[in-house]
Each structure stands twice: as C-alpha cells, then as structure tokens.
Structure 1
C-alpha cells in the first residue's frame, strides 16, 4: 500500500520561506512541485547570474528536486550532495536542513536505508534547534514513511511516529494532514496484517476527506479501504468503493489513477472468485503500466494475473504470468544495481581523466627544449602504461566487487535473494527434467525484532552472522542457504524428499540452538523456526513451493517457535 505524502510540498515551502523571503530558491521550489520542467528552465536562466554561494546552492538544490520529480534520480543525487556540502561549508543550517531532508528521502527511495535515516534524523534535529514545528512534523513524517517501508519493516517505530504526528495535527485542526496521517497509519497496519484496525483508520481518513470534499483524495482513500475490505472477504462493499473511485479518476482524466484502481479492482474480483472479470481489469492496468515501464506495479499485476488465470483453470497462461513476474522482479533488482554501478563508473572515469589531464599539463609546462620534450614524452608514455595498468587492476577489482554485490549478501556473505532465486530456478528445472526430488526450507529468526530493540542493531547483526554460519555448516555440500531479507532465509535441498528435508531442517535448528552469543549478552539465546516443503506436481512452480514452505514456517511460529513444521499435503 502506497503512503500518502501530502506533507511534502508544505514542508519544503516552509523550509524555503524560513530560509529567506522571496529568494530564487523559494520561487523555484514552489514552481518545481507543480511544474518541474519550468523550474529547471528557471535554474538554467538564473544560475549563471548568481554570485552568492548560498543562492547558487539553493538553486542547485531546487534543480535536484525538479530532476527527482522528472524521474532523473541519479542527476538529482549530485545536486543534493552539492547543496549539503555547500550548506555545511557556509554553516547555513536552514539550507542544510532542506538539503538533508531531500537527500534523505532520495536515499530511502534508492534503498540506502541507513544513510537515509541518518540524513532525515539530522534534518529533524536542525528543525528542533530552530524551533520550526511545521518542518519538524515534515521530517518526522518522512522518517516514519521510511520505517514503514516494506524493506525496512520497522512498523512499530513507524506507528509511534505517526501517532505523535496525529496528536499534533488534531490539536491544530489540520484536516488534510490529519487525514494523511490516518491513511499512513492504516497502510502500516495493513502491512502488519492487522486488517480490522487498518480498516478503521482508512475509514477515519475517508470521513475527513468527505468533509473536505476533495474528490481526488476521496478516491485515493476509497481504493485503499476497498483493498482491505476485499482481503477481509467483504467483496461487494469493496467493489462499490472501487467503482466510485474509478468514476472519479476518469472524471479527473487521471490515467494513472484509473490504471491503479483497475489493478485493485482486478485483485478484488479475483478474491471474489470472478476470475474472468478480473482478467479484463488486470489486462487494462498492464497496458498502461507497460507503456510507462513501471516495474513495481507490473510485479503486482503479473502476480494477480497468474492467480486469476489459475483460478480460471488456464494453467499455461498462469505459468506464463508467473514467468513474467519473475522477469520483472529480476529487472527491478538489475535496475537498482545498474544505477549504483553506473554512478561508480562515472565517478571512476572522471577522476582518472582529471589525473591524466593534470599530468599532461605539468609535463608541457616543464618542457623547454627538444630533449626535455622527448624526455617528457618518454615519461608520459611510461606513466600512461602505468596508469593503464592501475586502471585495469582497479577495473578488475571493481568488476569483482560489483559481481559480489550482485550475488552476495554483504552482512552474512550468503547468496542474496537474486542469486538464490537463480540457483533455485535452475535446480527446479533440473529436478523436473530428471524426475528427482527437491525440497525447500524457509527459516526465520525467532523474536529478532525484540533482539534488535533490546540489545541494539549491532548485536542483531552479530546474531545474523553467527546463525548464518551455523546453518551453512549444518548443510550438505551442494545444498544452498540464501538470505532473502531481514531475518528471513531460504534453503535449497537438492535430491531430497520431504522426510529427508525434515531431518536436514532439524539439524539446522539444532545447530542454531548451540550458537553461543553470551559475549554479546549473557541471557541471549537465539533460535529459529523452519517450514519445509517438497516439490511435487501440484506445486510445480518455485513460487508455490516457497509459499507452502512459508505457510509451514508460520505454523511453526504459531505452535511455539524453535521448531520445524512440514507443509500440509
């Protein structure tokens, strides 16, 4: 569920106004929120005329914001970095706060969560020092949104911040911000699978927006509430809300809103057992998001298409949809990796060009005779050869680092999600071809959030590393364990029946039970829960096998944790 971010514009404008009245930055940031192209043109026109360092930094910060809204995230990062560095050099805390908040949100979007939280918290502290309550709330909302991210999953901390914001907005009578915060609380509760509580909070947001009579916000709330109602089995009520939201978006000529509601309505129809009707909506949503190359939405669309086709008995089409979903997931991961590696390549080549140019200039200045020219040429040739050697060595090392980044989890040194899924797909194809058994185990560290909250994330990282090592040692040669995310792991067991896999899982559980963490905390005794599933004709795709293992894992947790459960037949 997507969070509402209506606080963004008010926060940035307040920061701009607090920095200086009617400055180029203030005019530009106001324009960039509604017309990024016009803001970029304004920066292009005004920047060459500026002599003041603070004004230049402010305009470049605004250009970063406009680039971000235009989808040019990599270029935006350079502008944010420049603004932060200049604000620190100039000791301009107002500009620094704005730059940190924008860079923090950018880093969060790019998955650099630790850096993002550091930026946002530092920006928040600057707002507290200045007594700027409005922008404190903006920064607090940005931090809460980051904690509520499905990759961070610190939902309790996010809810704590949202509820603090809710009290402030209710006290001020700020209806729009109150509705937004109710919505974000509901979205976070939905991610926690607390659907009745999520429904109540969405209804609060919708009631306020009905009072405000803002059609686009009402439609946004209706779609979100309908998704929760659909998940709770209240299909007719969900479809009525989605139909009304769709009507509003069509009236507004909001094509993305229409496509988003069609995705949600397709999913709701699928849950209601109306698979044929669901396919029409899902195909319409797919057409729009394919045109705009939106991989995040296409991931969900292909998941729903696979389920709807399977519900209709179209197993071949369901298989194709699942394959497309995996292709999209791989493209998403590659997109993020390519963005990061591209920045490294640009930085590397720029530094090398600067060094080579400086060396050449120095040689030319020193050459005042033919002999010296020849000597300089010889020296430069040797330097060039040496530089090429250094460049090749660094490029090889960089390529190895990038390959390691692409395939390995940095903390545990296990295969990451992308690498593990590639190995798993290969193993499954071989098992299907050779008619050999294959099993998977889903692992989760018991009460890991409590470990982090009680002892700190540094201790949590040590626990992750030691459990990863113990599990890897307990496996046979040829078996693979990968870190899928957070405290979640998957194990690939080749040539293994369900009964044999249960034995292997018990060995892993026992090995983890022997892990010694007393040097971190005397009472710390980590354990894991495991769910096991084997490949068979009824669960013929990797997704279905892993889901059965995951369901068994949840039963293991429900039955007391520190145990192994097999998937139900």
Structure 2
C-alpha cells in the first residue's frame, strides 16, 4: 500500500544534492533517440557532470534522459559503475512507498559495503535515512545520515559530506534540535568555502537561515536569507529564489509582522506558478492563508487554501504540504465561525500528524482545535486540547532552552579554542621577537616591548570576553539539567526571598521533601537511562500539581524539595497527597514494561523553634524517614512525629542558610 510522505522540512530537498533521485527506466525516455554505446571513459565523464550539479526533489523528472544515457554507458558486467548509478538513483517512489524505498536502500548499503565503495555507501545511507524520515522514524534516520557522513569523510568526498550534514541538520531541526542542526550546517559551510565549492556554499546559506529562524535569531536568519536570495537570482536559480522568499515570509510571520509577510509570499507564489510546481504553489498559498487569518481576512484565507487544494489534486506530496493546507483551512473556517467544519479539518490533520515528534505543529494544531471545540460546546475535549497545548508549549520552551544552551556551549568551545590558538601564536611570536632582539641594536628593544604590551592587551580583552560568557553560562547553571527544575543553588535563593516575603505580614511557609521509593532497584533493573526518564517524569508531574508561586527543586539523586509560600501545614499535607497520587499515576509502559513507581513525602511548616530554613528541611526529612519506615507511598507530617517532633505556632522565618543534604533512604 502506498504511503503519503510527511517527512521533515521541505527545504532539505532544495538545499542538498538529490539523495534520492527518481527512478530511471532501463528503456530510452527520449522517443526514438539512439542510446550511446557503453564506454567506461564516457560513463565517468557524464557521471562526474551529473553528480557535480546541485539537484533537488522538484527537478529530478527533468533529468530522466540524463540518467537513461548514464545507465546505457555502463559496460556489461561492470558492477562497480552499475552500483554507483543505482546509488545515485536510490529513492524510487519515495513519496508513494517509503517502506519499499527503505528496503531497496538497505540492499544498496550491503552491496556498497561488499565492494568497499565509499561514494555508493554514502549515497545509500542518505537514501535510507530519507526513507526512514519519511516514515517518521527521525531518530533512526539521523543515525543513517551519520553513517553516510562518516563514509563520505573517509572517502574524502567534500561535497557529499556536506550534503549529508545538511540532510542530518534538516531532520534535527524538524524534531526541534536546531542548535545541533546549526552546528552541522556551519561545518558544511566551512568545508564548502575551504574547498572553493561556491555554488554549494551559496545554497547552504538557505539552510543556515532556516536554522537561525527556528532558533529565534531573526537578524542572523534575515542576513543569510538576503545573501541566499541574491546568489540564487544571480544563478537564475528559481527554486532556491522561491524558497528564500517563502522563508522570508515565514520569518516575518514568526516576528508577528503579518501584513508585511504577504509581500514576499506573493512573490514566492508567482515563481511557483511560473514553474508549474503544484507542491510549491500549495506551500505558498498555505503560508499566505496563515498570514491572512492573522490579519482577519478569513474569506481570502479560505479562498487561498481552496486554490491550494485544487492545485494539489489527488497526488501525494512530500514535506507535509497536504497537512498544512488542511490546517490553514480549519483556521480560516474557524475565523468565519464555521467551527463544526473547522473541527473536522483539525481532526484530519491530527490523524495526518500521527506520532510526529514536531512540537511546533502539535502546538499550532491543538491551540486552533481547542478554540473550535469550545465554540461548538465540546468543553471536555476543548479542555483536553488546551492541556495538550500547554504540554506541547512546555516541551517547546524546554527545547528552546536546551538548544540555546547547546549553541552557547558550542560557541564557548570555539572561542576557547580560538583564544588558546591565539595565545599560543602570541607566545610563539613573543619568543621569536625575544630571540631576534638579542641580535639587534638597543634601540629595537623598545619596539619589542611595545609589541609585547599590545599582545598582553589583546589577551586581556579576550579574557574579559571569556569572563562575560562564563557569567552567562553560570546563569544557565541555576537549573537542574536532567529534570528542568531548580537546582540546589536556585532553590536556596528562592527560599531566602520567600522567607523574607512571609515575614511581614506574617504568613505560613511549608516545605515538602519527596523521595522516589526503591529508586536504586529501578536503576539496577531497567538501567540508568530509564532512571533518568523516571526522574524527568516525576519532576514534570509534580510541577503540574504545584502553583506558579511554588518552587520545586532537585537536591540530589532521586530527592526533591518543594517550597510552598503562604501554605500552612494541613494545606501542605493536601498538596503532598496530590503529588504522591500524581507520581503513582505515572505510566511508563512505553519506556519500561511493567514499571510502576511510588514516592514518599514529608511535610513541615516553619515554626517558632526553627532557627533557619535548614531546620525546616530537616524536619521535613524526618517526616520523610517516617513515611519510609511506615511502608512508603505515603505522606507524613512533622506534627505527626511519634518521637516528639517539633510542632509549634508559625512565626516569621529567619534568613535562609544553605539546605542540608537529604539522606532519605530509598
């Protein structure tokens, strides 16, 4: 059965040479034109010409005669050259049957390995990655691209290596890892510029622009888009010109400049109409519809999507264009008050998305769908939709923070290496100058001194830059990298502010100590990766149950502490019960079959006997110990301490000191 492709961003086909070209029949495609006689030299010449030209998915059918002639030039029995043609053409019917293409690509991988052909192996892995990406197996496709990239690197194939980096970057960006994608594209750009591959470098600007836009670095994205557009117009490359204009429209849309985005989108539409490419026309019309919806022109937006649907017809198209058209149609119908029809469109899009890992599309869909569900009176479904929007938006925010951290670390490492190289170069220069100064007259010594001062100043400036960047990274260090909740340092600062706020007028403040039961058994049985997943899910479940004014922090291992300003002991006990139930209700069926977890909690309210914040935490820990002794999966309060635990009237707390480490047994 054929399957419609819903792969990562469409621009991957416009940025890299075709990793999956259209099938070429063995018979001639040019009427009665005679095919050339087989010849190794003629094959190699034509192969080099075809392989050196940048290609994308939109123009492969126009090259069928070239591939027909290439196959006709393969000498009988020449398996090496035949393998290269097959690798170049891998991707037959990708948009119709990605699973079949994947099987064929896997067979090509084995053939290339047996013949130790780095070119064919790299192409085959790229084709396999495209097939798996088209089936929404993005993580596996990234591994395939990585194998192909390594094969191209070993074979010294610079252009093919860059193509693989761009393919992997497109898939990484589609699942939200924009910073890693940007690193790949930057590496490809450096290789192209180093080896003089000007055309590939100019086309790669577009990929860099898309990555910067998705990272939210709009100025850098616009700069790369303008450069890519000028280069494409100079080459008369309509396909790349179309994509740069489309991306400029997306950029203005992301910035909220909806009226301004219509201009470049209409220019892109005009180019697509000239090319008679239904997929490109549909993309441009869907983007126009999105902007028209935002400026309130819902009738025109509906007309745009209906034009897009008419152009697409019944054919399958890659890159999710069909899904985008239906999403925009639903938004336009909702804007016109036709919410029942809009819900039907959104339901279709939801089925089309399936198990997609793209939180941007998921957020967009559920936000629009929830509004229409609420309008038609399906309040429970609408509430579920808003909940999904919140979850997807939380995931997007977490991804954005993680990507910013990855990018900052990468830039920090680059600048550190550059600084080290400059320091070493400066040291070598200084030593050379000192050696030369021994053989010069006295009046040249002053010149050497001046040069040394300049070098010291340069190092001082670079050092100051490193200090400033280090301060930025220190800010990032306030969050626990595994769970995304506050770390110990952030928790202490929050506690100090909360205590000061609760002092005047006097208000209660409670502390919850939470420990995952039998966590060591989880690590021992299921592995540390599953243990990390458990901690992330526990943290997320607890954050959902807490107020915005509360703070949850991880103090070590499987131990968490929550600070509840303005909450007394009995109310805090209720909060703790909600957290315990939320943890017990977590489902890990997809992660580790049969895994269930519980948590024990201790509750303490700051009281007159407490000298500082540490004592409150210690009492909460004692209550937690008691919960462990009494069977786990329960909540104990310090007021219930059968050993004479402290319990007194609340008082304004003293200034906070660093939190003591919790020693709750697992």
Same fold (TM over 0.5): yes
How far the C-alpha of 1:156 sits from its partner, in A, is 1.6
Q: Distance in 2 between matches of 1:211 and 1:274?
A: 34
Q: Distance in 1 between matches of 2:336 and 2:149?
A: 51
Match of 1:159 in 2: 222
Q: Distance in 1 between matches of 2:378 and 2:242?
A: 42
Q: Distance in 2 between matches of 1:426 and 1:247?
A: 48
Residue 275 (structure 1) aligned with residue 339 (structure 2): yes
SS in 2 for 1:477: strand
Match of 1:413 in 2: none
Q: Distance in 2 between matches of 1:34 and 1:291?
A: 23
Match of 1:347 in 2: none
Match of 2:108 in 1: 43
How far the C-alpha of 1:41 sits from its partner, in A, is 5.2
Quick one: structure 1 residues 46 and 15, their matched pair in 2 at CA, closer, same or farther if it must change by over 3 Å?
farther
Q: Which protein shows a greater Rg?
A: 2
Q: Distance in 2 between matches of 1:97 and 1:237?
A: 41
Aligned residues: 374
1:378-418 Cα deviation digits (max 9, x unpaired): xxxxxxxxxxx9x97797655554556x36xxxxxxxxxx9
- Where in structure 2 are the equivalents of 1:127-526 lying within 5 Å? 127-149=192-214, 152-252=215-315, 257-290=321-354, 297-325=361-389, 398-403=529-534, 406=536, 419=539, 422-427=541-546, 477-478=563-564
Give yes or no for contact 1:29–1:62 (8 Å, CA) kept in 2. no
How far the C-alpha of 1:178 sits from its partner, in A, is 1.1
Q: Distance in 1 between matches of 2:295 and 2:49?
A: 42
Give yes or no for contact 1:185–1:201 (8 Å, CA) kept in 2. yes
Q: Distance in 2 between matches of 1:311 and 1:204?
A: 36
| Unpaired runs of at least 5, structure 2 | 1-7, 22-47, 55-69, 71-80, 400-519, 552-560, 567-574, 576-666
Cα RMSD over matched residues? Answer: 4.5
Give yes or no for contact 2:136–2:356 (8 Å, CA) kept in 1. no
1:284-332 Cα deviation digits (max 9, x unpaired): 4334445989876454333222111333455344224324555777899
How far the C-alpha of 1:122 sits from its partner, in A, is 1.3
How far the C-alpha of 1:116 sits from its partner, in A, is 2.4
Q: Going by fraction, where is helix more abundant, 1 or 2?
A: 1
Give yes or no for contact 2:126–2:144 (8 Å, CA) kept in 1. yes
Aligned counterpart for 2:133 among listed residues 68, 89, 98:
68
Match of 2:91 in 1: 32
Match of 1:512 in 2: none
Residue 17 (structure 1) aligned with residue 51 (structure 2): yes
1:413-446 Cα deviation digits (max 9, x unpaired): xxxxx956x4453236xxxxxxxxx7699xxxxx
Give yes or no for contact 2:112–2:121 (8 Å, CA) kept in 1. yes
Q: Distance in 2 between matches of 1:181 and 1:5?
A: 13
> TM-score w.r.t. structure 1 length?
0.55
Q: Distance in 1 between matches of 2:266 and 2:274?
A: 12
Match of 1:452 in 2: none
| Unpaired runs of at least 5, structure 1 | 336-388, 408-417, 429-437, 442-474, 481-493, 495-569
Stretch of structure 1 that moved more, 249-258 or 163-172? 249-258
SS in 2 for 1:282: helix
Quick one: structure 1 residues 394 and 15, their matched pair in 2 at CA, closer, same or farther if it must change by over 3 Å?
farther
Quick one: structure 1 residues 156 and 238, their matched pair in 2 at CA, closer, same or farther if it must change by over 3 Å?
same
SS in 2 for 1:126: helix
Q: Distance in 2 between matches of 1:82 and 1:321?
A: 39
Match of 1:451 in 2: none
How far the C-alpha of 1:164 sits from its partner, in A, is 0.5
Q: Distance in 2 between matches of 1:328 and 1:145?
A: 21
Q: Distance in 2 between matches of 1:333 and 1:301?
A: 17
